[in-house]
Amino acid sequence: MRWGPVLLIAAVAGFVIFLVTVPDWSLPRAGTQLGSRASSMIQFAAGPAEDRLNRPPPEIPPWAQDIRPASTAFKNVKVLSDVNAGEFMRLQKAMTQWVSPKQGCGFCHVSGDYASDAKPEKRAARLMLTMTRHINSAWPDHVGAGGVTCYSCHRGQPVPDQVWYWHPPVPVHPMIDEQEDYHEKAVTVRKFFPDEGFEEYLLERTSGLGQSQTPLPSGQAVSQIEVKRLYEVMMQMSDGIGVNCGFCHNSRAFFDWRQSTPQRWTGFSGIQMTRNINRDYLVPLAAISPLTRQGPGDAAPQVGNALANCATCHQGAPKPLGGANLLKTFPELKGPDPHVAASGPVSPPGRS
Ligand code: HEC
Ligand code: HEC
Ligand code: HEC
Ligand code: HEC
């Protein structure tokens, strides 16, 4: 037996398999310089995958004209009482398309009795209506005049795609080190990190002052684990809105607000708004529909329902849904929520 030709054929076959199976590492195409030259504030244009997620939702045609107030036309209207009955029904159709197109009206309603509150999904949707109205009226600095609708997060499914779960603390391994809940099946480094940073920044009120001002750790304002969490969250935020650090910071002085872009302020209000959404709406949602899920491939069970982060709305784009003006066609989704004290942006505790 001559091994030479066999080895040659095996090598060629191996090389062809390598070419076919190895992913396409092509880099993002266009880069744009934001800051002054050599400041490394470069942004890359989003790829075609993000563009697909970035299209505005399908239009919802008007319902039959009915100008009676919904509160008199229907029996059990608690949030949308100021909306006219025709527009109310158009919104019902829209909510069905945005949240439960496969399940239909029956996802929230028991058949034959639209006024009944028996289904937890309907009670959840009512809380969601107050939340959406609150986001659009209390956070115009962040969501702009275009605002958000159910579709901004749900994208045609009952549980939004881009979410995170609060995990119970993972037991400390006696021999090695503290076990971290890494996303081991992540395809990018930024998605690999655990969700603990979300807990600290998007649920608890952790201050984001992490950068040391001195060469030695003695000058450090916070512990090393806090610094680690801060950097993890910064990476996850950047990933969620599809940008690099230089979109908000000048990387030679991350702490300095004077050398930061205006987008850092928008990011700052995003952190506070997401905290508001999680604390005041999505955590309380668990009382309406208690859930414990086993996450895909994650070691720890997930407690309660899903929570929001930047990616829930942004889905990897700096302007969700291409910056579409969603409130123009659904102005009733903006309004005060009487149950929650209006919380608006506060000034960052940043240093100069
Ligand atoms: C995602 C949940 C959800 C879906 C899907 C949904 N609804 Fe509703 N519906 C609600 C909520 C919440 C209310 C109460 C609103 C309020 O209190 O302001 C409501 C109220 C109603 C009412 C008023 C009932 C009354 O007498 O008080 C009608 C009628 C109605 N929906 C019809 C529909 C129809 C028709 C569809 C399908 C095209 C539909 N809904 C799909 C959540 C939903
Ligand atoms: C900021 C993002 C966001 C917006 C805006 C939003 N939702 Fe949700 N919604 C969520 C998250 C996150 C959950 C939790 C999902 C889970 O784990 O069950 C949820 C849960 C729900 C559920 C319960 C689903 C289930 O099976 O547990 C319903 C119903 C719902 N939303 C309807 C709506 C409606 C109707 C609107 C618009 C009026 C809306 N949502 C707006 C993020 C959002
Ligand atoms: C969307 C805007 C945005 C992006 C993108 C962003 N950051 Fe931040 N960063 C902020 C905001 C806002 C704060 C202040 C948070 C606070 O005070 O609660 C901050 C704070 C920081 C701090 C702490 C500064 C101090 O005063 O100690 C560091 C360090 C940091 N970011 C690093 C990064 C890194 C590294 C990246 C890229 C992986 C990044 N950031 C991407 C908005 C952003
Ligand atoms: C409830 C949905 C929602 C969530 C959650 C959210 N955003 Fe936004 N964000 C928006 C919308 C909508 C806009 C577009 C506003 C406009 O068009 O003026 C926006 C705009 C921005 C911009 C400005 C982009 C630009 O091109 O100027 C930044 C930066 C940003 N968000 C950062 C964040 C960060 C960081 C988080 C998480 C900490 C976050 N957002 C969470 C809805 C959201």
Q: pLDDT 10s per residue in the chain (352 long)? A: 688 999 999 999 999 998 888 766 655 556 777 777 766 677 776 555 566 778 888 889 888 889 999 999 999 999 998 899 999 999 999 999 999 999 999 999 999 999 999 998 999 999 999 999 999 999 999 999 999 999 999 999 999 989 988 765 555 555 555 567 788 788 877 788 888 889 889 988 877 776 767 766 666 667 778 888 899 999 999 999 988 899 999 888 898 999 899 999 999 999 999 999 999 999 888 888 655 444 444 445 556 788 999 999 999 889 999 899 999 999 999 976 655 544 544 554 443 3
Amino acid at 23: P
Contact 310, 241 (CB under 8 A): yes
Contact 84, 69 (CB under 8 A): yes
Amino acid at 22: V
Contact 55, 321 (CB under 8 A): yes
Q: Is 140 in the pocket of ligand 4 (CB under 6 A)?
A: no
Distance separating the N- and C-terminal Cα atoms of the chain = 76
Q: Pick the ligand that lies closest to the CA of residue 326.
A: 4
Q: Return the residue whose CA atom lies nearest to atom 1 of ligand 2.
A: 153
Q: Return the residue whose CA atom lies nearest to atom 28 of ligand 1.
A: 114
Q: How far apart are CA 326 and CA 146, in angstroms?
A: 5
For residue 47, give every residue at least 6 positions away whose Cβ sits within 8 Å of its Cβ, in sequence order, or none: 28
Q: Is 293 in the pocket of ligand 1 (CB under 6 A)?
A: no
Buried/exposed code over 187-207 (b: 16+ C-beta within 10 A; e: otherwise):
eeeeeebbbbbbbbbbbeebe
Taking alpha carbons only, the member of 270, 296, 274 closest to residue 283 is 274
CA of 158 to the centre of ligand 2 (A): 7
Q: Return the residue whose CA atom lies nearest to atom 38 of ligand 2.
A: 129
Q: Return the residue whose CA atom lies nearest to atom 19 of ligand 2.
A: 159
Q: Is 74 in the pocket of ligand 1 (CB under 6 A)?
A: yes
Taking alpha carbons only, the member of 135, 127, 162 closest to residue 286 is 127
Q: Is 235 in the pocket of ligand 3 (CB under 6 A)?
A: yes
Taking alpha carbons only, the member of 261, 214, 271, 211 closest to residue 240 is 271
Q: Is 254 in the pocket of ligand 3 (CB under 6 A)?
A: yes
Residue of 68, 107, 108 best suited for mutating to test ligand 1, as the one with most atoms within 8 Å of CB:
108
| CB atoms closer than 10 angstroms to residue 87 | 19
Q: Is 154 in the pocket of ligand 1 (CB under 6 A)?
A: no
Amino acid at 17: I
